[in-house]
Amino acid sequence: MKVCVVGGGGREHALAHVLARTSDVVRARTDPSGTGLSGIDADLYVIGPEQPLVDGLADRLRSEGRLVFGPGADGARLEGSKVWMKQVLHDAGVPTACHGAFDRAEPAVRFLRSLAGPYVVKTDGLAAGKGVLVTESVEEAEDDVRAKLAGTSFGDAGRTVVIEEGLRGPELSVLAVCDGQRALPLAPARDHKRLGEGDTGPNTGGMGAFSPVAEAGPQLVEEVMERAVEPTLAALGRLGVDYRGVLYAGLMLTAEGPKILEYNVRFGDPEAQAVLPRYVGDLAAFLAEAAAGHLTSEPAFADDACVTVVLATAGYPTSPRAGDRISGVEEAEAVEGVTVFRAGVERGPDGDLVTAGGRVLDVTALGVDVDEARRRAYRAVAHISFPGMQYRGDIAAGAVAPVMPGIPEEAEGS
């Protein structure tokens, strides 16, 4: 089978890497004006990023008779509008944070002040994972509401804001592959959204991820499927949406049970990098079944673990710097079990790799367990450098036994 992976980031590199085990893979970037896909003739198109899905790329390809993994614009609205997503959740009876949606500051501020905190302010529209503020300070939340509504911080994506009660608990990502009728879960993952160690600093697109997650056994995954994913797919069906692609449930495991924080309409980035390398079998055939509306295979995952550590540029997430020369990638990839997915890189004039995006590289390692995968990933990270490189030294740290006093960690983050 010939598979075309659309999108140029680390998630798409991971997809291409795993699909290439069983199929011929070509990669295509999307451009704002067109699809960038003319001339590519593939048996299956897998669309990586959310923006082209929201813009209707899957619909355009399907109208040409092509087999596509990824929802049409109708289903992608689940990610393109948080207000609409909340409405669908409400109609489907799916547990989620209570919320209000506002396009004017006064009622928004009044609603904020009625909440107990922590306070959560989100842009309605797409903001590359960075449009969410979670804070204990009502003043900070109010300032954020005003900046978003004024269009100064996130442009039109913030002209409507969603304000939510802050939930507490560990997070979990469950990615389900859907064929319009059925949804089958992939192995759960946990990502790290904040820029700084100890979950501090601003939200980012994601600074690292790992899979499996010890407390997310089959029973919890079944609960998430029964209480959230399946009712959502059914609600979409009632709205006439034939949803074929990934339905990614971002969850908070609260004291009252799992609650949905958000849905994404594609593989997570960086969750895909931590989940897909563990896939056993023919991923291309599995995604093709979903794309054709007939899922029959069951996804299977190896018992080993995978950890991915994101290396980001100076200035990420607000003002990433481009053009910094990267060294040590080959040495990193020589570490056992390690693959370095290219997220935001290009070739400089002398042929060297240079930074070309906020998140630059995803240093990904397989191991017998999370501890081994983590050690391998950080051993590889230690080989790579570029000016201003930022990463977290605590990716997956909570998932392994604490380090014994006096025994230093192998590598520390910046």
Q: For residue 169, state whether it binds ligand AMP (rule: CB under 6 A).
A: no
Give every CB contact of residue 286 below 8 A, 6+ residues apart in sequence.
177, 295, 297, 299
165-173, 178-186, 307-315, 347-355 -> range binding ligand AMP (CB under 6 A):
165-173
Q: For residue 213, state whether it binds ligand AMP (rule: CB under 6 A).
A: no
The strand pair at 305-312 and 359-367 is best described as: antiparallel
166-174, 322-330, 357-365, 389-397 -> range binding ligand AMP (CB under 6 A):
166-174
State the Cα–Cα distance between residues 351 and 412, nearest whole angstrom: 30
Closest C-alpha among 392, 414, 136, 175 to residue 290: 175
Q: Which two tokens stand for residue 65?
A: 């008779």
Q: For residue 203, state whether it binds ligand AMP (rule: CB under 6 A).
A: yes
CB count, 10 Å around CB of 61? 22
Please, which of residues 360-399 interact with ligand AMP by CB under 6 A?
none
127-135, 207-215, 310-318, 382-390 -> range binding ligand AMP (CB under 6 A):
127-135
- Pick the binder of ligand AMP from 193, 266, 278, 379 (CB under 6 A): 193
39-47, 160-168, 219-227, 403-411 -> range binding ligand AMP (CB under 6 A):
160-168
Residue 173 beta carbon to ligand AMP: minimum distance, rounded to whole angstroms = 9
Give every CB contact of residue 266 below 8 A, 6+ residues apart in sequence.
11, 47, 48, 49, 50, 53, 70, 79, 245, 246, 248
Please answer whether residues 265 and 79 qualify as being in contact, where contact means their C-beta atoms are separated by less than 8 angstroms.
Answer: yes
Residue 224 beta carbon to ligand AMP: minimum distance, rounded to whole angstroms = 15
137-145, 161-169, 283-291, 385-393 -> range binding ligand AMP (CB under 6 A):
161-169
Residue number with CB closer to ligand AMP (134 or 332): 134
State the Cα–Cα distance between residues 310 and 192, nearest whole angstrom: 10
126-134, 233-241, 332-340, 401-409 -> range binding ligand AMP (CB under 6 A):
126-134
Closest C-alpha among 191, 210, 368, 279 to residue 15: 279
Task: Please identify the residue of the shown chain whose CB is closest to the bound ligand AMP.
Answer: 262
Q: In what order do the strands lie in the sheet with 244-254?
A: 183-185, 171-179, 244-254, 257-264
- Pick the binder of ligand AMP from 54, 92, 97, 365 (CB under 6 A): 97
Q: State residue 246 phi and psi, 5-degree precision.
A: -90, 130
Site map (CB under 6 A) of ligand AMP, residues 249-268, x = contact = -x----------xx------
Please, which of residues 72-91 interact with ligand AMP by CB under 6 A?
none
# residues contacting ligand AMP (CB under 6 A)? 15
State the Cα–Cα distance between residues 306 and 18, nearest whole angstrom: 13
- CA 409 centroid distance within chain: 27
Give every CB contact of residue 408 below 8 A, 6+ residues apart in sequence.
none
Cα of first residue to Cα of last residue in the chain, in angstroms, is 43
Residue number with CB closer to ligand AMP (116 or 407): 116
Residue 76 beta carbon to ligand AMP: minimum distance, rounded to whole angstroms = 15
Residue number with CB closer to ligand AMP (97 or 283): 97
Interface ranges with ligand AMP (CB under 6 A): 97, 120, 122, 129, 132, 134, 164, 166-167, 171, 193, 203, 250, 261-262
